[in-house]
Amino acid sequence: MRLAGRLFVGSSLLLAATAIGLVLAAGQVLRREVDREVASGLEREARLVAALLPADSLTWPEAARRLGALIGHRVTLIDPSGRVRGDTEFDRASLAQLENHATRPEVVQAIAEGTGIGHDVRLSVSTNQRRLYVAIRGGPPGLAVVRLSTTLGAIEDSVGTMQRGVALAGLVALAVAALLAWFLSRSLAQPLAQLGDAAHAIAAGEEPVLPSSPIPEIARHTLALRAMHEQLGTRFSELRREREETQTLIEAMADGVVAADGAGEIVALNAAARRLLGYRLPDRPPPLGQLFHDKRARDFVRAALEGQEVEQRELDLDGRTLLVTSRPLPKGGALLVFRDVTDFRRLELVRRDFVANVSHELKTPLTSIAGYAETLAAEAGGDTQSRRFAETILSNARRMQRLVDDLLDLSRIESGSWHPTPRPVDVVAMAHEAWAPFADRARGAGVLFSVDAAAPSVAADPDALRQILTNLLDNSLRHTHEHGAITVRTAPAPGGTTVEVTDTGTGIPSEHLPRIFERFYRADASRSREQGGTGLGLAIVKHLVEAHGGRAEAISNFGSGTTIRLFFPTAEA
C-alpha cells in the first residue's frame, strides 16, 4: 500500500474509532442523565401523591387509579405489612391477588434508608415490562410506602433516537474528516514520494526534480537534498578529475602496475605492465597464477593473494629480470608493481667483470713494482733521496695491492660464485685471531681490546667471519684515538646471533650513516687515505653478512664512537 493510502486508512480508522467512542459515550451519558431526571420526577410526583391521598383507607384503591391516570404513571400504595392497598393498574377486587411487596428492593430501601427513598429497575412480574420503581416512605396513617413506576421503553426510544442523531452527525463528521484526511495525506505523501524519486535520480547520476511544499519539515528536506546534490556533484567532479589524473599518471609510469582481485583475476594494468607481460589491447591477460611458471614466482603470487606485503623480489619472465613488489588491496586482492631491471643487471655484470678483469690484470705489474721498489730501497743506503723515493713507490704499490685485493674479493662475492659454508665458529678465538695483526700497532697507541661473548659461537663461514672481523677491527683502530678501546660483543637474538664491534673513536656524522656501506664511500676521505683505507672494507662486510642471510647496520654519534652490528641467522633459519 502506498504512503498516501496508509495515511488515509490510518487516519480514517482513528477517526472512526473516535466517532464510535463518542457515540457510545454520549449514549451512556444521556441514558444516565435521563434515568436520573426521570427518577427525580417520580420522587416529586410520589411525594405529591402521598400528600393528596385521603385519610380514609377504603378510598385508596380508587384514589390510586385516579392519581395514576392524572400523572400518567403507575401508582402503588403499600401498607406496613407489604400488602398492596391500591394500584393504578388493578381494581379493588384484584388487589387481594397481588403478591406481598414487603420484599421489593425499592420498598426495603425506602423503609430502611434515612432518606426514605428507594430505587430499582427490573422486569415487572405483573406487567412483564422493564420498569423504573421509585418508592418514598410516608402518606396517610396506615400507609407505609407510596411507590411510582414507569416503563423504560419510552426512555430507551428517546435515548435511541438521540443516539441515532449523534451517530448520523458522527458519520457526517467522519466523512468530512476522511475527505480532509485524504487531501492531507496526498499533500504529505506526494512530496515525500517526489523526494524519494529525487534521491533515486541523484543516486543514478541524473538531474533530480525536487518538490516544493508549504510544509516546513518537507521544505527543509528539499533544501537539504538540493544542497546534498550540489555537494555530491562537486565531489564527484573532483573524484572524476583525480581518477583521470591518477589513471594518466599510472599509464605514464615506466613501471608496470597490475591490480588483481582475491581470486587472482587481473582487473587493471597499465601500458608498461602490458608491455612487460606481452599483452596488447583488447587481449585480456590470464589470472596471476598463470603468468609465471617457476616455483619461486608462484610462491610470490600466492603470498601476494593471501594479503602479505612482499618486498622487492626478482623474478624471471621470458628471459627478462623483473623486480616485483606486492601490497594487499583493502577489499581483497593485491597490487603488484613490476620494474624491468634486465639492462641494469646486465650493466652490473659488465661492471663486475670489468672490475675483476682489471684488478686481476693489475696484480702482476703491481707485484713487480712493489718488488723492484723494495729492492731499490734496500740497496739505497742511508737516508738518501733515492731511498725515500723507493719507499714512497713501495708504500703506494702496497696500497694499490690492497685495493686490488679488496676489489677482487668484492667482485667474487657479488658475482654469486662464492657461497658461505656456515658452521659453529668460536667467536672469542676468531676475534683474537683477527686482532693479532693489529696488536702491536694498538699497543703502541695504548688502545685496549676486549671480547664480551654472551653467545660463544655463531653460525658462519670461518674464512668469511675472519675477513669481516679483520675489516671491522682495522677500521675501528684507524679511527680510534690513543688510549681508546675496541670491544667485540656477541649476544643471542631471535632467530640467530648478533656480533658487535664497538670503538671509542671519532664517530660518524648522522648524514653519512646511510651511505657508509657503499663502495669507496668515506665519511672523512682525506683521513682514510692518509691511514691507508680503501673505502671497500664495509662494503665487503655488508656483502659477506648478507650472503649468510643476515644484515649489517651502523650506530654512531659523532665524536663518541661507532658500533657496527651484524646479525647472523642460525643454520636452521
Task: Give the CATH number of the domain where residue 402 resides.
Answer: 1.10.287
Mean pLDDT of 404-426: 73
Q: Does the pLDDT of residue 456 top 80, yes or no?
A: yes
368, 391, 414 - which closes a domain: 414
217 belongs to a structural domain: no
**Are 287 and 405 within one domain?**
no
Residue 457, class by beta-carbon neighbours within 10 Å (0-12 exposed, 13-18 middle, 19+ buried)? middle
What is the percent of the chain where pLDDT is above 70?
83
**Are 407 and 434 within one domain?**
no
120, 135, 157 - which closes a domain: 157
In Å, how far from its chain's centre is CA 264? 26
205 belongs to a structural domain: no
Task: Give the CATH number of the domain where residue 545 resides.
Answer: 3.30.565.10
Mean pLDDT, the chain, whole residue set: 80
pLDDT for residue 448: 92
**Are 473 and 356 within one domain?**
no
| Report field, pTM of the whole predicted structure over 0.95 | no
Task: Give the CATH number of the domain where residue 326 resides.
Answer: 3.30.450.20
In this prediction, residue 138 has a pLDDT band, given cuts at 50, 70 and 90, of: confident
525 belongs to a structural domain: yes
As for how many domains the chain has, the answer is: 4
In this prediction, residue 489 has a pLDDT band, given cuts at 50, 70 and 90, of: very high
**Are 431 and 408 within one domain?**
no
Q: Does the pLDDT of residue 239 top 80, yes or no?
A: yes
191 belongs to a structural domain: no
**Are 334 and 371 within one domain?**
no
Q: CB under 8 Å to 538, separation ≥6 — which residues?
A: 471, 475, 516, 517, 552, 554, 564
Cell numbers standing for residue 286: 590470464
In this prediction, residue 209 has a pLDDT band, given cuts at 50, 70 and 90, of: confident
388, 414, 440 - which closes a domain: 414
In Å, how far from its chain's centre is CA 473? 55
Which residue is listed with cell 458519520? 171
- Residues, the chain, total? 573
**Are 287 and 400 within one domain?**
no
Q: What is the pLDDT of residues 428-445, one digit of tens each?
A: 999 999 999 889 888 888
23 belongs to a structural domain: yes
List b or e across 138-172, with b for residues whose CB sees 16 or more CB atoms inside 10 angstroms.
ebbeebbbbbbbbebeebeeebeeebeebbeebee
**Are 349 and 370 within one domain?**
yes
**Are 290 and 400 within one domain?**
no
230 belongs to a structural domain: no
Q: Does the pLDDT of residue 525 top 50, yes or no?
A: no
Closest residue by Cα to residue 148 from 48, 58, 81? 48
In this prediction, residue 6 has a pLDDT band, given cuts at 50, 70 and 90, of: low
**Are 10 and 54 within one domain?**
yes
Between 389 and 7, where is the model more confident? 389
Domain of residue 497: give its range: 423-569
**Are 126 and 21 within one domain?**
yes
Dist CA 395 CA 366 (whole Å): 11
Helix then strand count (H, E) for the chain reads 15, 17
In this prediction, residue 343 has a pLDDT band, given cuts at 50, 70 and 90, of: confident
**Are 88 and 101 within one domain?**
yes
53 belongs to a structural domain: yes
What is the percent of the chain where pLDDT is above 90?
7
**Are 292 and 317 within one domain?**
yes
Closest residue by Cα to residue 317 from 293, 288, 299? 293
375 belongs to a structural domain: yes
Is the Cβ–Cβ distance between 86 and 77 less than 8 Å?
yes
